[in-house]
Structures are given as C-alpha cells and as structure tokens.
Amino acid sequence: MFLSILFIVLRGIYTAFLYYKIIILNKKLENLDTQINDVEKQIALLKEDEKIKKYLLLKDVYEQIQPTKWSYIMRKMYDIIQKVDKISYWKFEINNFVINMEQLNLVWKVNDLSVVYSSGWIIDQFEELPFIKKMNIPYYKRVNNMFEFSLNANISINEYSSR
C-alpha cells in the first residue's frame, strides 16, 4: 500500500516536471519566434534602404562585368601572339593552344630559341601578365629546322588589372 502511494506521488511529481519542461520550452520557442520576426522586420527595412538597393544593383552589375575578365585575358594572349608574328625574320607555328579559366597550355614551334628565352620575348611577355601564375616550360625539342616548346601556366582570373 505504501509503495503504491509512493509510486502515485512520484508519478505525479514526474508528470508535473514534464509539464514544467513543456512550459519552459514553449516560452523559449515563443522568444525565438519573436526574435525571428524582429530580424525579418530588420531585413525588410534594410531592403528598403536606398544605400542597400544601390549596393545590390552594383553587385548585379559587377557580376555581369565579370566575363570581361575573360575577354581581357584573351586580348592579352592575342597581343603576345601578334607581337611575335610581326617580327618577320622569326618563323613560328602554334601547334596547340588550350586556355581555360584555370590553365594555359601552349605548344609552339620557332626557328630560333632566342624568341622564347631572350629578354622581353615570349617567356617574359607571359610572366608579366598579372593573371599568369606558376609558369613553366616542361620541354623543348628540335623538330626538323624548328624548336618545339611547350609552355604551361596556371591562370588566376581573379588577379588581374585591366589597364
């Protein structure tokens, strides 16, 4: 008899404890709902702010301008090729030219290695480009009357200056 009364009392205490926990959790949930509503109101006010609207507009314009980085890179590559092409006494052939947003791979044949290694020429031209990183020439070899060389470089499209 005593045990059954004790069991009923403990069960009542446990039930009261659970109701107490539910009440506390509901209050915390209400507080969080209030905080969420306050933050949503602040966000709505910020979206109406003219400075924020201008920022978002400029952000959209900037994201649309990003492709010009790629056109800048291609223009610089073309300028180097044109510069070498204008020197009539050097013969060169481009065998393989692969460029993407991360890598440049170029295989050229030249009749004189000085066009590759002389100061101010092909290697220096590419090294001066601000978006070229970790450039190397893994090989060059003699093919008939020409020298074939491979030029590889990493491209960092985010690091450039359009002068």
Say which CATH number the domain at 98 has: 3.30.1360
Q: Is 151 exposed, middle or buried (0-12, 13-18, 19+ CB in 10 A)?
A: buried
pLDDT digits (tens, 9 = 90+) for 13-56: 999 999 999 999 999 999 999 999 999 999 888 888 888 888 88
CB-CB contact of 140 with 148 (8 Å): yes
Residue 37 has what pLDDT?
94
Q: Are residues 90 and 119 in the same domain?
A: yes
Q: Are residues 58 and 19 in the same domain?
A: yes
Number of domains in the chain: 2
CB-CB contact of 73 with 160 (8 Å): yes
Q: Are residues 11 and 35 in the same domain?
A: yes
In a domain? residue 87: yes
Residue 158 has what pLDDT?
64
Residue 161 has what pLDDT?
45
Q: Are residues 9 and 87 in the same domain?
A: no
In a domain? residue 118: yes
Cα angle: 135, vertex 140, 143; to 5 degrees:
150
Q: Are residues 83 and 147 in the same domain?
A: yes
SS3 of 108-120: the string is: EEECCCHHHHCCC
Q: Are residues 77 and 52 in the same domain?
A: no
In a domain? residue 106: yes
Residue 95 has what pLDDT?
79
Q: What global pTM score does this model have?
A: 0.49
Instruction: State which residues form the domain around 146.
Output: 67-155
- Which of 65, 95, 116 marks a domain boundary? 65
**The 103-110 sheet, strands edge to edge:** 92-99, 103-110, 146-155, 132-143
161's CB contacts (< 8 A; 6+ apart) are 130
Q: Are residues 45 and 60 in the same domain?
A: yes
CB-CB contact of 98 with 110 (8 Å): no
For the chain, list residues with pLDDT below 70.
Answer: 63-68, 87-90, 119-120, 158-163
Task: State how far the alpha carbon of 67 is from the alpha carbons of 27, 34, 64, 78, 81, in Å.
Answer: 51, 43, 7, 17, 22
Q: Are residues 56 and 74 in the same domain?
A: no
Q: Are residues 71 and 151 in the same domain?
A: yes
In a domain? residue 144: yes
In a domain? residue 19: yes
- Which of 46, 65, 84 marks a domain boundary? 65
